[in-house]
Structure 1
């Protein structure tokens, strides 16, 4: 007899208070997927020592019908580069201990990312004889492994029952690698309208103690080279040449912070570009509503959730032509796109966006289709199709 439970395997998952936010898009998705199940179990294995590296603490927790576990396991860099099967072995061992200890019963597995979660999910499939869906999120790794014709990745995809890809243009690449087209689904990320919604710009700035009467450009992302904040800083040097009332706020932490700080100083932009550090989850909506435009100058992306969150607040999105972004920003009514790594193009798009009169209602109407509730319904349809028994997942 079916238990109507889902097991989610995630490379990263936020802690209980969302002070560590990597993988938060998975948690946001589960907020609506949980309505289709009696219990959703989330297992996110954590290598020993990773808590110190990530400067966070992982403790198991539960909210509503979702139970989250962070089993520890042994891993070293050598496993990643040479002995990946050993890596998977230790992850599976840690997960099986949790499953046995907690008496976890589940009908299907949804793994996020092909490696290592997808690899672990395929192994667990042989233990429990349940279907597996894998959401392939990565971009750089995805293209790299396809170019290498990595047999491990291709085998994982072939053995899965469903592959969900957020970028439609990548689906033929799976098919060309020998994956059955019938098991590949295009489902994008989404946003939570209870967390991201329109607030008067003046009110948001007042609550954040930000100046009124200026133009505010906002970027919130991890400070990694791939996120392209250095191009945003350089673009600001162009933007302020005839817009002295313009300010750029960059939120987030990461290894590029010191470099960005030095770059801002070298370009003499201390009065115009501000690194504001980590933005708590409960302040994201305020910050987005306080800005005039949101800018994400990434060199590579798949389907950034912050794009949907920006649109969900009725704000225009200025991004780059990477991954699935052009599949969402399909009109100049919702935002503008620059070439990745092109400072001049980015500066030009920022200036155009600041001068443009945006129709907030049109943006809000457009983004409604990407509410997590709608995305979860699409995923539940995939679950229906891959379950071996006549089990229909209906939202409670």
Structure 2
């Protein structure tokens, strides 16, 4: 008897990982593939989205993973208003695709409750298979709980298992009538075949970075809104500059706020201390991480950022904010330093402290192994078994 998994997600990378939206889902799927005959990934792409993403996404296959970018007609306004219409249009398109390709599957894993989870509940009715939903968001999750969002609650009640990437959020499901027995904590992970210790000076040389006379600070985070805290990082570097002249902060990412951040850097006279290097592929990120001395993530809100275990896997200390699932990973100052968000003064103090400290990179890498995708995949498989058991008992 075949064992096939259907993954539904509205963001998924292209073959070459030029577009990296949902890269953590792709990494997770790659480490689940050996446990299934086939994994089918359907990533619905409403007409017009590719223009926004600035990339054309084509179907592809790697190993036993079949990726379908489902082009279909939907209307942006339905994403926030008239959501039942969005669900109907996406569900209809997915069912047609499943039937056209002759896909057979035993389990559905939806990433994000909205819209993938809500749509997957409709697919459950059609195909009579269990559904697991992973809820990744931070702000959206909080609003759904506070507003008792009916679509979120219906999806959670109707699915067979829920994975939450932040342990501290699990208690909130109870407040909207969801049994905590069906909610499981599993954080995001890293690929130990990509994120590992590399020769730092050689990585710096490859990236044309100073090898001996600069301390390299690294941030990876897109600039689509202010939630990643870039503004406070720039302010913090301005303060660090008053105490040290050997710091170079690199920011990887792109987005609509880039021009504003470049202006802030110029206004503060930090052109020599900060460099915005744009988007980099997921394959390039380990080189940048190994070239840095400290990794910084000053987010205002977070779920469970994948860059966190990735930087630890490279042996780099993490400097960031006490938000989302970050304090659940950085449980000791042996791995990094945390402060409250939106506070550039405390962030700068953490950076200065970190620069003066001798870090045990081997100990950091050893700790990171707890979050390897191999271990995470094992935990996910256990949830799948629980979901199937509960589904069959209903």
Please indicate the TM-score interval, normalised by the length of the shorter structure. over 0.9
1:343-391 per-residue CA deviation (whole Å, 9 max, x = no partner) reads 1011111111111100011101111111000000000011111214999
Give 1:155 deviation, angstroms. Answer: 0.9
Does the residue aligned with 1:241 lie in a helix, a strand or coil? coil
1:325 equivalenced with 2:358 (yes/no): no
Describe the shift of the 1:237–1:102 C-alpha distance in structure 2 as closer, same or farther (beyond 3 A): same
Which residue in the other structure is 1:162 paired with? 161
Which residue in the other structure is 1:117 paired with? 116
> TM-score when scaled to structure 1?
0.97
1:177-211 per-residue CA deviation (whole Å, 9 max, x = no partner) reads 11111111001110000000011211111111111
8 Å Cα contact 1:197-1:285 kept in structure 2:
yes
1:197 equivalenced with 2:196 (yes/no): yes
Taking the aligned partners of 1:75 and 1:239, their CA distance within structure 2 comes to 48
Match runs of 1:260-271 below 5 Å:
260-271=261-272
> TM-score when scaled to structure 2?
0.97
1:65 equivalenced with 2:60 (yes/no): no
Which residue in the other structure is 2:222 paired with? 222
Which residue in the other structure is 1:342 paired with? 343
Taking the aligned partners of 2:235 and 2:387, their CA distance within structure 1 comes to 48
5+ long unaligned stretches in structure 1: 392-396
1:10 equivalenced with 2:13 (yes/no): no
Taking the aligned partners of 1:53 and 1:112, their CA distance within structure 2 comes to 21
Match runs of 1:1-396 below 5 Å:
2-213=1-212, 214-223=214-223, 224-388=225-389
1:226-282 per-residue CA deviation (whole Å, 9 max, x = no partner) reads 101111011000001121111101011111101100000110111111100011222
Taking the aligned partners of 2:315 and 2:118, their CA distance within structure 1 comes to 39
8 Å Cα contact 1:158-1:179 kept in structure 2:
yes
8 Å Cα contact 2:138-2:302 kept in structure 1:
yes
Describe the shift of the 1:283–1:200 C-alpha distance in structure 2 as closer, same or farther (beyond 3 A): same
Which residue in the other structure is 1:394 paired with? none
Taking the aligned partners of 1:367 and 1:312, their CA distance within structure 2 comes to 5
Describe the shift of the 1:389–1:172 C-alpha distance in structure 2 as closer, same or farther (beyond 3 A): closer
Taking the aligned partners of 2:31 and 2:318, their CA distance within structure 1 comes to 25
5+ long unaligned stretches in structure 2: none
Taking the aligned partners of 1:176 and 1:84, their CA distance within structure 2 comes to 23
Describe the shift of the 1:85–1:389 C-alpha distance in structure 2 as closer, same or farther (beyond 3 A): closer
Give 1:35 deviation, angstroms. Answer: 1.0
Give 1:20 deviation, angstroms. Answer: 0.1
Taking the aligned partners of 2:240 and 2:93, their CA distance within structure 1 comes to 52
1:108-160 per-residue CA deviation (whole Å, 9 max, x = no partner) reads 00000000000011000000110000000011011011111111111110111
Taking the aligned partners of 1:158 and 1:177, their CA distance within structure 2 comes to 10
Taking the aligned partners of 2:390 and 2:301, their CA distance within structure 1 comes to 40
Aligned length: 390
Taking the aligned partners of 1:153 and 1:218, their CA distance within structure 2 comes to 36
8 Å Cα contact 2:160-2:390 kept in structure 1:
no
Give 1:97 deviation, angstroms. Answer: 1.5
Taking the aligned partners of 1:388 and 1:303, their CA distance within structure 2 comes to 28
8 Å Cα contact 1:131-1:388 kept in structure 2:
no
Does the residue aligned with 1:254 lie in a helix, a strand or coil? coil
8 Å Cα contact 1:226-1:300 kept in structure 2:
yes
